[in-house]
Structure 1
Amino acid sequence: MSASLNGRPDAHAPAGPPAGERAAGAQAPEPVARVRWRDSLRTRMVLWSSVLNAGLLLVTALAFYAGARALIVQNARAEADSLARQTVRSLEATLESVQVSGRTLAASATGVGAQPANLRSLLVASLAGDPDITGAMVIVEPQAMPGDADGFTWYIRRDGDTLVEQSVADLGYDYRTMPWYVRTVASARPWWDEPYANAATGGEYFATYNLPLRRPGDPPNAPAVGMVSLDVPMERLAHLLAGSSGAGLQSMLFSPEGLAVVHPDADTQMRRSAAELAAMPGREDLAPLVQAIATHTPATLDHRGLDGDARRTVVLPVADSGWSYALGVSERYFLHRLDRIALAVALAGLLTLLLALWLARRYSHALAVPIEQLTDSAHHFSQGDFDYPLPHVQRDDEVGVMARAFDAARGSIKGQLHEIGQMASARQKLESELSIARDIQQSMLPAGRAFDTAHMHVEAHALLEPASEVGGDFYQFSELEPGVLWFAIGDVSDKGIPAALFMARTLTVLEQQARRHGSPEKILAAASVRLAENNETCMFATVLCGRLDVASGRFRLASAGHEPPLLLHADGRSELLSLEGGGPLGFEPGDDFPLYEGVLAAGSTLVGYTDGVTEAFDAQDRAYGTERLLAALVRGDSAEAACQRLLDDVRRFAGDAPQSDDITILAISRQRED
């Protein structure tokens, strides 16, 4: 360090010139009155300095406490969310295992014939193959299967290491009148019933997965000939939740009808539903829980627990089973240790402040001058004069530590200012490059086209509005051969520069294959091979590819995982074409891209779009959806007008909400010329 930064040599002015000898006969001067300590300016300086330091210490401590509190709460919520998802995956695995066993049993029960021994073997095999299943039942109506006049009704459940078997007719009721049987045979899909306990279950709570039985080859809406049910003990599901309970965490499991199957409150478990809990006085904050369970959607809510503690609860649906899992986190539990540490730190700070006050009283004179000099240097630093001399850097006491801390801070601030300047320059360069990339990307997309032939006017137009500077959506149309319009619209995974690069590659590959192959399904099949090559980033694109004969209006379409196009008829009626699609391009080569053929009649418009249209969200996080899409277009519009009308309607719906994805619209209209 240079001498200018080492500080000026400490020099103390003498208190006064040395006293000369008293003149002969002179009277002795009166003694100087000492200033009482409580009136001393030094004492006042120490006191005010102590008050200021105490205030700064308090503000710092409060800021630290607030920051630590926010960080602890954030981490606790993130860990709770991760734990909730992990628990839901365990529940999904268990329930899916049961559902797979149920589907296997249902398929086998109608395929092995009407022999009771075979059906009983299937029941035993289902219990042996899945430890989560405690009981299994098969009901086949009499005369439902060829050669079976008596039907089959049998129930087997585990009882320890043994199997208890009996006919359903021996359970003491007519199964044909039971609600679970009536609902199952009338349902097109399997379903989970509410937990129950009775004599047949040995008093243990079970949940049953019910599947309708249909003869092999029957459609899903065909009358059922019986049913299959599998029993899962609630104790098994509760055991999966044990690892995510305790230590400030509360796990809750709700049945498809909202019953609290697992709940920390014993009076609530198996007795109250989520709706009943929300209806209790002061529990209106549980309304989002009821909504999430009813709609089988994820949700996060802040509410008060039974003990009045602030809680955050994460609600997740368990796949498509109808079950819902909730995990509550107690903020007070995680903040208890922080409060204790904060109290200890506050007491230690108070004692330290008192000790510092005493020491400052004794050594205030020795410290006052260096501190004033350091304060003067700090003042220059605050004005941006970072080269102003900094004294006392070589001292070994607290003043030296403070001086070196000032010096380190000065160097750090200078370095950060330099880095900020470099970052600003780099950002400006990046923004310029992104602007150029956007212009290049836009230049790759064609302008609108019009064709006039045989008294018909065909117009093709498209709009692309990226969510960022560059995006992954694209479109293309061109007349590769006279009278034939080739067109495509697509959406690349991800956003930004990687998506733009993959978009350019996809667009190039599609155009190359379109010049080699005439039919859309062949274009997509060839493109899937090229795009899967060297695609180590695993990016992909959904593509709608089509070919239109301008004169006749006949068109062919093929889709690689893209949204179905919309057809606006001449009478104003809109419909989404039932177009089956293959997989997106880029994952792996494929050739299964079903071809759709149709006719674009006079006065009709074919509209392709990306998911940025249907998945545009407003300020309330509601999606635009297909219903608004079908109602947005008006007959008689040109292709350009149709694109602009749909884009304006999406913008009007989203309002001030930020655009979450690229929006691309491609329209092809066909009008008869007068």
Structure 2
Amino acid sequence: MSVPQTGSPDVVPAHPHVVAAGGVRWRDSLRTRMVLWSSVINAGLLLLTALAFYLGARALIVQNARAEADSLARQTVRSLEATLESVQVSGRTLAASATGVGAQPANLRSLLVASLAGDPDIAGAMIIIEPGLLPGDADGFTWYIRRDGARLVEQSVADLGYDYKVMPWYQRTVSAAGPWWGEPYANAATAGEFFATYNLPLRPPGAAADAPAVGMVSLDVPLERLAALVGGLNGAGLRPMLFSPEGLAVVHPDPEVQMRRSAAELVGQPGGEDLAPLAAAIATRTAASFESRDADGEVLGTVVMPVADSAWTFALATSDQHFLHRLDRVALAVALASLLALLVALWLARRYSGAIAAPIEQLTDSAHHFSEGDFDYPLPYVERGDEVGVMARAFDAARGSIKEQMHEIGVMAGARQKLESELSIARDIQQSMLPAGRAFDTGHMHVEAHALLEPASEVGGDFYQFSELEPGVLWFAIGDVSDKGIPAALFMARTLTVLEQQARRHGSPEKILAAASVRLAENNETCMFATVLCGRLDVASGRLRLASAGHEPPLLLQADGSAALLAVPAGSPLGFEPSDEFPLYEGALAAGATLLGYTDGVTEAFDPEHRAYGSERLLRVLRAGDNAEAACQRVLEDVRRHAGQAPQSDDITILAISRRRDD
């Protein structure tokens, strides 16, 4: 392109900085556009890259934080399980011993003292035995011992100021089949300290689980001890929670909730709908994980875990914002540094792009001629040693490669045309191997046999055959070869030939298949196989014998229009290995009935929504009075309607045999 130079009589610049070198205004120059677009693209790529890294880092940090929280939750649950299981073992031991030492108060008191001494997690222990329920015990036993620092405080249950028999916890325990954990409580007997109680019913030694209880045993665990196991997780974005068997928040980061509200009550508060999974997990004693938002809108990831079979539940919430705060600060610093680097890159690109623009323009002109087929147009800068020379030599190599490829494309087009011609001839040869529809008459009976085959490609693996091997007897077969294309067509031809040979030697379908399985398994290095339905029909009597080598069950249309699939037992497909296990099915093709065989290309024809044609639709499509040709045509048209614009995925083959009385 020729442009006036600065200072020529044809150009009078309005300002010395308006026109760039070469006589082109700076805003129209290739250099400016290169710098502008490269800057926009680089800025966009930088932004997308930074955003991708930022989002990836956020996701990774949140994932790691929640994985760490899950690990911490499991460790805490194991600690809680160890503590509660220790108490439960002590409770079971105390309950077993209390009914085994007799009704001696001294012995029972010793058991209480031993339980306290043996397990530091137990702060109090109680035994209640109702009077007169143990042999030789008319007074019963009620005694409670708790720790008070280094000393033990003991008193009778009667001294606690209530009738234990009417207390809900006693009635629940003596009527329960097993132990249970009570809700936290505090009273004068516990010196105002909150305890959780493990309660066990007492039954005589050897008594059944549903036998009446004679009393109960309870062990008190200070909530302070349980809270200490989970309290160490406070801070660092973690919010531990411990819930009692009834869902009370025993440990909670909000003091207004702790020991005051249950999980169900938290869900019922405004904005508490996100905590519904927590309440559900506590109610069902199952683990769960979910996301929620606190009152400040902060996203929390919470994991909920049941504490073994104790009915206690531990939950640990992690604050995403706590872990992402430092990332946000780093991201801001990186964004500012990237902006500065982008400005520097813009200045450098503007400075050095002029030396690149002119050679690129000339190379572009050469490329334009190449695109129009002028491959002999001069190509400059081939001898340069810089990147422009590399580009020019690449164009030169591409020009030669395109010439070679165009020649190869021409050769391949000829070869493809030859292959398509050969495939068309192979299709014609394959179709010529299949018989046309025909009729058979014996006495007053008229039998018609008709078939249709539509391969999914030029050649296929489906086949059918029918012939009158002896007077009044119709032999027929329909099959489907594994795979498609030329290998399937070759194996189909071999299978069809073998079946016809064996049909001339053996009169019964099961023997034909047995003999064919031996021949087709020989030298079958490709491991191809074929499913086959083989049959024999006596035209006069209508006697029908069938045998199947793994093929689809045939359909029988009665004269009254009812249709059903015949339960023909199937042997193994032909080609795997020799077999003689092809069960024979015997039946009859009544006058006015039609037998329909088909391949899986019918039932597995898919519509654009990938829904299969199926056997149910096949059973509904046939009509009473359809002869063999009408039945084949009706099924094929219905399959096409079902498939619509969807491509044919497999060969479609339909074989029909109708029998009627000749009026």
Match of 1:437 in 2: 426
Kept in 2: contact 1:46–1:357 (CA 8 A): no
Match of 2:406 in 1: 417
Is 1:53–2:34 an aligned residue pair? yes
Q: Following TM superposition, by how much is the alpha carbon of 1:360 offset from its aligned partner in structure 2, in angstroms?
A: 3.8
The structure-2 alpha-carbon separation of the partners of 1:388 and 1:609, relative to structure 1 and needing over 3 Å to count, comes to same
Match of 1:380 in 2: 369
The structure-2 alpha-carbon separation of the partners of 1:559 and 1:268, relative to structure 1 and needing over 3 Å to count, comes to farther
Is 1:354–2:347 an aligned residue pair? yes
Q: Following TM superposition, by how much is the alpha carbon of 1:652 offset from its aligned partner in structure 2, in angstroms?
A: 1.7
Is 1:522–2:511 an aligned residue pair? yes
In structure 2, what is the Cα distance between the partners aligned to 1:590 and 1:492? 18
- Map Cα deviations across residues 104-138 of structure 1 (whole Å, 9 max, x no partner): xxxxxxxxxxxxxxxxxxxxxxxxxxxxxxxxxxx
Is 1:672–2:661 an aligned residue pair? yes
User: Which aligned pairs between 1:149-298 and structure 2 lie closer than 5 A?
Assistant: none
SS at match of 1:462: strand
In structure 1, what is the Cα distance between the partners aligned to 2:278 and 2:35? 50
Match of 1:574 in 2: 563
Selected match of 2:435 from 437, 442, 446: 446
Q: Following TM superposition, by how much is the alpha carbon of 1:546 offset from its aligned partner in structure 2, in angstroms?
A: 0.5
Q: Following TM superposition, by how much is the alpha carbon of 1:55 offset from its aligned partner in structure 2, in angstroms?
A: 6.3
Kept in 2: contact 1:46–1:360 (CA 8 A): no
The structure-2 alpha-carbon separation of the partners of 1:54 and 1:531, relative to structure 1 and needing over 3 Å to count, comes to farther
Larger deviation, residues 50-59 vs 657-666: 50-59
Letter in 2 for 1:425: G
The alignment's TM-score, normalised by the length of structure 2, stands at: 0.53
Letter in 2 for 1:356: A
Structure showing greater radius of gyration is 2
Kept in 2: contact 1:568–1:574 (CA 8 A): yes
SS at match of 2:376: coil
Is 1:487–2:480 an aligned residue pair? no
Letter in 2 for 1:50: R
Kept in 2: contact 1:618–1:657 (CA 8 A): yes
Q: Following TM superposition, by how much is the alpha carbon of 1:429 offset from its aligned partner in structure 2, in angstroms?
A: 2.4
Point out where structure 1 has 5 or more consecutive residues left out of the alignment.
Answer: 1-14, 16-31, 69-168, 174-264, 282-305, 309-335
Letter in 1 for 2:530: A
Selected match of 2:485 from 496, 501, 506: 496
Selected match of 2:16 from 22, 33, 36: 36
User: Which aligned pairs between 1:66-81 and structure 2 lie closer than 5 A?
Assistant: none
In structure 2, what is the Cα distance between the partners aligned to 1:560 and 1:48? 77
Q: Following TM superposition, by how much is the alpha carbon of 1:537 offset from its aligned partner in structure 2, in angstroms?
A: 1.4
Selected match of 2:649 from 642, 650, 660: 660
Match of 2:87 in 1: none
SS at match of 2:492: helix
Larger deviation, residues 53-62 vs 434-443: 53-62
- Map Cα deviations across residues 196-218 of structure 1 (whole Å, 9 max, x no partner): xxxxxxxxxxxxxxxxxxxxxxx
SS at match of 2:523: coil
Is 1:463–2:452 an aligned residue pair? yes
User: Which aligned pairs between 1:537-616 and structure 2 lie closer than 5 A?
Assistant: 537-616=526-605
The structure-2 alpha-carbon separation of the partners of 1:592 and 1:368, relative to structure 1 and needing over 3 Å to count, comes to closer
SS at match of 1:389: coil
In structure 1, what is the Cα distance between the partners aligned to 2:489 and 2:597? 20
- Map Cα deviations across residues 310-344 of structure 1 (whole Å, 9 max, x no partner): xxxxxxxxxxxxxxxxxxxxxxxxxx9xx99x999
- Map Cα deviations across residues 30-77 of structure 1 (whole Å, 9 max, x no partner): xx9998344334474697323432466479879999999xxxxxxxxx
The structure-2 alpha-carbon separation of the partners of 1:171 and 1:427, relative to structure 1 and needing over 3 Å to count, comes to farther
SS at match of 1:572: coil
Aligned-pair identity in percent equals: 72
Is 1:395–2:387 an aligned residue pair? no
In structure 1, what is the Cα distance between the partners aligned to 2:47 and 2:531? 47
- Map Cα deviations across residues 553-579 of structure 1 (whole Å, 9 max, x no partner): 111100000111111111211111111
Kept in 2: contact 1:453–1:550 (CA 8 A): yes
SS at match of 1:582: coil
Kept in 2: contact 1:47–1:357 (CA 8 A): no
- Map Cα deviations across residues 216-263 of structure 1 (whole Å, 9 max, x no partner): xxxxxxxxxxxxxxxxxxxxxxxxxxxxxxxxxxxxxxxxxxxxxxxx
SS at match of 2:29: helix
SS at match of 1:386: coil
Kept in 1: contact 2:469–2:504 (CA 8 A): yes
Kept in 1: contact 2:533–2:549 (CA 8 A): yes
The structure-2 alpha-carbon separation of the partners of 1:522 and 1:404, relative to structure 1 and needing over 3 Å to count, comes to same
In structure 2, what is the Cα distance between the partners aligned to 1:420 and 1:669? 53
The alignment's TM-score, normalised by the length of structure 1, stands at: 0.52
Is 1:634–2:615 an aligned residue pair? no
The structure-2 alpha-carbon separation of the partners of 1:534 and 1:374, relative to structure 1 and needing over 3 Å to count, comes to same
In structure 1, what is the Cα distance between the partners aligned to 2:397 and 2:283? 65
Q: Following TM superposition, by how much is the alpha carbon of 1:624 offset from its aligned partner in structure 2, in angstroms?
A: 1.5
In structure 2, what is the Cα distance between the partners aligned to 1:412 and 1:621? 43
The structure-2 alpha-carbon separation of the partners of 1:385 and 1:46, relative to structure 1 and needing over 3 Å to count, comes to farther
Kept in 2: contact 1:492–1:542 (CA 8 A): yes
Kept in 1: contact 2:43–2:342 (CA 8 A): no
Letter in 2 for 1:49: L
Kept in 2: contact 1:513–1:527 (CA 8 A): yes
In structure 1, what is the Cα distance between the partners aligned to 2:440 and 2:456? 32
In structure 2, what is the Cα distance between the partners aligned to 1:556 and 1:62? 78
Q: Following TM superposition, by how much is the alpha carbon of 1:351 offset from its aligned partner in structure 2, in angstroms?
A: 5.1
Q: Following TM superposition, by how much is the alpha carbon of 1:440 offset from its aligned partner in structure 2, in angstroms?
A: 1.2
Q: Following TM superposition, by how much is the alpha carbon of 1:380 offset from its aligned partner in structure 2, in angstroms?
A: 1.7
Is 1:531–2:524 an aligned residue pair? no
RMSD: 4.2
SS at match of 1:545: strand
Q: Following TM superposition, by how much is the alpha carbon of 1:411 offset from its aligned partner in structure 2, in angstroms?
A: 2.6
